[in-house]
Amino acid sequence: MIIAVDGPSGAGKSSVCREVAKRLNWSLLDTGAIYRCVALTAMEKGVDTDPAECGKIAQALDIRFVADKSGQKVFIGERDVSKDIRTFETTQCVNRVAPMAEVRAQLLDIQRRLGQSTNTIVEGRDIGSVVFPNADLKVFYTASAHARAMRRLKEFQAKGETIDFEEVVKQIQLRDETEYNRKESPLIQCEDAIVLDTSDLDFEQSCQALMKLIQDKCGV
């Protein structure tokens, strides 16, 4: 079984998919992490604005996901890059690298290979539309820009930091615009996807809602 979960940034899709995969004892394929590995390598080699070089990096990418207590660690070769791929710099860089056609073409095979072994939740932006168009279930996981900004605000408050709420809403809207309007594999809501709007749901309710969709469809 393959469950494709697509949706915009910052809706909490990754954490919910991770938790649901754990509860069902399924595999999780976080495709954003694959793009982040390409961006990190390209950034470290100083070629992150060169689509041909980024494509070569994607083609040669030796990525591994290793389950551990906290979820999943990500390795490039023998190097644990779990933290390095989540830094602010890598996030800025991946937003430039992920739209490159050369990169996307190379990563298709890797994603299909990694996603096909067992029951897997595959999460990203173009999973239902491009990577696994025949997925057993397609979910479009979303939340309003306002709700996503509120979640971000709470994360900052929990760390004792302050951020300007209106500024966060603006950033989220800008990022949405880029993801929905890019030329290569834009974020789209597939016609056969079930929309899961989590604007009014907390984390546990979001997990329950996704679990229910999977259970109803797959009988697990």
Cβ-based nearer residue to ligand DC, 125 or 148: 125
Judged by phi (left if over 0) then psi (alpha if -120 to 50, else beta), residue 95 lies in alpha
**Closest CB 95 distance from ligand DC, rounded Å:** 5
Cβ-based nearer residue to ligand DC, 101 or 220: 101
- Enumerate long-range contacts of 50-56, CB under 8 Å, 24 or more apart: 51/100, 51/101, 51/102, 51/103, 52/102, 54/97, 54/100, 54/102, 54/103, 55/100, 55/102, 55/103, 55/105, 55/106
Contacts to ligand DC by CB under 6 A: 9, 31-32, 35-36, 94-95, 98, 124-127
Tokens 């990694």 belong to residue: 114
Cβ-based nearer residue to ligand DC, 94 or 193: 94
**Closest CB 86 distance from ligand DC, rounded Å:** 8
**Closest CB 158 distance from ligand DC, rounded Å:** 20
**Closest CB 9 distance from ligand DC, rounded Å:** 5
Adjacency order of strands within the sheet including 71-76: 63-68, 71-76, 79-80
Structural contact between residues 99 and 182, judged by C-beta atoms closer than 8 angstroms: yes
**Closest CB 219 distance from ligand DC, rounded Å:** 27
**Closest CB 36 distance from ligand DC, rounded Å:** 6
* Residue from 5, 10, 6 nearest 199 by CA: 10
DSSP string, 62-80: -EEEEEETTEEEEEETTEE
Count CA atoms within 13 Å of residue 164 on its CB side: 4
